[in-house]
Amino acid sequence: MVRLDSGAEHELRLVNHCKMFITRFAPSPTGPLHLGHAYSAMLASDMAHAAGGTFLLRIDDLDQSRCRPEWEAQIFADLRWLGLDWPAPVLRQSVRLPRYRVALQSLWDRGLLYPCRCSRADIRAAATAPQEGAPLHGPDGIVYPGTCRPARPPAGKMPMDVALRLDMQHALRSIHNPLIYIDKGIEITVHDLAETVGDVVLARRDMGASYHLSVVLDDADQHITHVIRGEDLREATQIHVLLQHLFGLPMPAYHHHRLIRDDTGKRLAKRDDARAIATYRAEGASPRDIRAMVGL
């Protein structure tokens, strides 16, 4: 059994019938797609179809250490089995590193980035020191305590071999308009990014770009008008809205949908092979069965 939080029919009624509706599903080929992925992909496709729009598939393969060709092939097979289709060619993030580097350079030139050599253990130790009190948690885990943040913007050439963080305070001072976005037709105002999010990583030493940077640039370059994704990414949206302002990019409308959970209420993850689409296929389930399982 899979626990449903609410009817998907309500979410489909929230489709904004506009002249253009372009959305996407952007999985990482690091494991099998599960029922949560199926729900997100089918919901995005259904909403695009209802609006007479376009559904795109994008492959988030920045983490080459974990991505595998066989998992990418499985993504295509599972989604086509579910009855989804999309225009070709499919965008792969791994070929867009030069695009991300240009965007990073623009932020570096404005003094909004700084290099950081802290490990996760370093951050945890600094944030949990007795004098710091209980650490704050944001979209990326513990809010960065600012260990490497310089007093002045760093000068010289942008480094290539370290993580690059956004100086959140400096970035917010460069924006004069309120940070507002639309989620399911409701206007959301972003507050307290410096305290609740902190200096997020925009370039990772081993990947070239972070999820936050790549997804914002990819959505803009693909002219995405509606971002449809799980509510577990709602906190990340405020970072993306900030980056859209910093780069002068158009802002899509957002639709953060409910999550598919197991019987205990825990949201599904790729390690939940028992919930993998391929497993249900092998057991004789039909695409209609999958739709029923996730409430579509």
Render pLDDT for 86-123 as a digit per residue (tens, 0 to 9). 999 999 999 999 999 999 999 999 999 999 999 989 99
Residue pair 257/230 in contact (Cβ under 8 Å)? The answer is: yes
Among 199, 97, 206, which Cα is nearest to 162's? Answer: 206
Q: Which of 179, 186, 177, 178 is nearest to 254 (CA)?
A: 186
Asked if 158 and 101 count as a contact pair (C-beta separation under 8 A), the reply is: no
CB 258 within 8 A of CB 16: no
For the cut 50, the answer to whether the pLDDT of residue 48 exceeds it is yes
Strands 201-203 and 163-166: antiparallel
Q: Is the pLDDT of residue 9 over 70?
A: no
H helices present in the chain, as ranges: 8-12, 35-50, 69-81, 97-109, 120-127, 168-173, 193-196, 211-221, 234-247, 277-282, 287-294
More confidently predicted of 149 and 263: 149
Render pLDDT for 165-177 as a digit per residue (tens, 0 to 9). Answer: 999 999 999 998 8
Q: What is the pLDDT at residue 167? A: 98
Nearest to 257 by CA among 289, 234, 277, 237: 234
CA separation for the pair 128, 134 (Å, rounded): 6
Give the residue from 1, 15, 26, 34 showing the smallest Cα distance to 240.
26
pLDDT given for residue 207 in this prediction: 85
Place of tokens 């059994």: 1
Given CA atoms 260, 261, 267, 269 in this order, what sign does their dihedral have? negative
pLDDT at 10 over 50: no
Helix (H, G, I), strand (E, B) or coil at 283: coil
Domains of the chain, first to last: 1-94+261-296 (3.40.50.620)
> DSSP secondary-structure letter at 65?
T
CA atoms within 13 A on the CB side of 19: 0
Which residue carries 């939940």 as its tokens? 272
217, 96 in Cβ contact below 8 A? yes
142, pLDDT greater than 90: yes
Q: Give me the mean pLDDT over the 51-74 stretch.
A: 96
- The one-letter amino acid code at 53 reads G
pLDDT recorded at residue 3: 42
- Which structure tokens are listed for 38? 């199926």
pLDDT digits (tens, 9 = 90+) for 227-278: 999 999 999 999 999 999 999 999 999 999 999 987 666 766 666 566 899 9
Question: Is residue 216 a contact partner of residue 189, using CB atoms and an 8 Å limit?
Answer: no
Q: How far apart are CA 170 and CA 178, in angstroms?
A: 15
Mean pLDDT of the chain: 90
The pTM score is 0.89
pLDDT over 80 (residue 19): no
CA distances from 31 to 27, 49, 117 (A): 10, 28, 29
What value does the mean pLDDT take over residues 71-83? 97
- pLDDT-derived band at 126 (thresholds 50, 70, 90) equals confident
Confidence of residue 18 (pLDDT cuts 50, 70, 90): low
Report pLDDT for 5.
42
Rounded to whole angstroms, the Cα distance separating 73 from 23 reads 21
Kindly state the helix (H) or strand (E) to which residue 189 belongs, with its residue range: strand 186-189
